[in-house]
Each structure stands twice: as C-alpha cells, then as structure tokens.
Amino acid sequence: MRILFACDAGPAIGGGHVMRCLTLAEALTGMGAACAFLDTHATAPLLDAFATHDIERVDEAQAWPSDWVVLDNYRSTLDEEAGWRTGSRLAVIDDLARPHA
C-alpha cells in the first residue's frame, strides 16, 4: 500500500496538520505501508524536524503514484479534492465538518 500525505502548515495555520499526519504515517509504515509527504515550502521545516528516515518526501504528487492520498488542509476546495482522487482513493482529515469530495 502506497499512501501520499498532502497537508498544510504555516505561521497562521501552525504545524498540527503535519504532526497528526506524521503520527498516522509512522503507524502505517509500521504496518508495512510505504508513505510519502508532499514536500512544500510550508511543510519542509516540520518534516525536517520531526519526520523519520522511513518517510519519503516528494515535490509533486504525480512523481509518486499512490493507492491513497490523505489530505489534511482546511483551505482545499471540493474541486481541488476531486483532483486528488484521480488514480487514488482520497481520505480527508477535517475536524471542521465541511463537505468533501
């Protein structure tokens, strides 16, 4: 199983999205899944500080085909979420109870 995490971070948002996805990725890696994070300018400092060596980082989602995409981003729109579903299953982490694709 290949799982790509796409999460948000930044000064106004904080690092909670990345941290909870890292926790999930580490548990899934321990169960045999291959996990990678979409490496962005906002997530890079957190991944540098807290990601283990088992977690890959990729610059573009297309460069790392996945079975699942885990999206943790409050700013994503329904159309953006639908775009993530191309070729992968989508899981959205959201504690705001918004509608999702």
How do residues 4-23 score in pLDDT, each as one tens digit? 998 888 777 777 788 999 99
| Average pLDDT score, the chain | 82
The percentage of the chain sitting over the pLDDT mark of 70, rounded to a whole number, equals: 81
pTM of the predicted model as reported, rounded to 2 decimal places: 0.82
CA distances for 1 relative to 36, 51, 69, 82, 85, angstroms: 11, 19, 11, 21, 16
**Residue 23, pLDDT score:** 92
CA distances for 24 relative to 78, 82, 83, 86, 95, angstroms: 23, 22, 23, 22, 16
Read off the pLDDT of residues 59-72 as tens digits, 9 standing for 90 and up.
876 778 889 989 88
Sequence letter at residue 59? D
Would you say 55 and 35 are in contact if contact means Cβ atoms under 8 Å apart?
A: yes
How far apart are the C-alpha atoms of 4 and 22, rounded to whole Å? 11
| pLDDT at residue 84 tops 70 | no
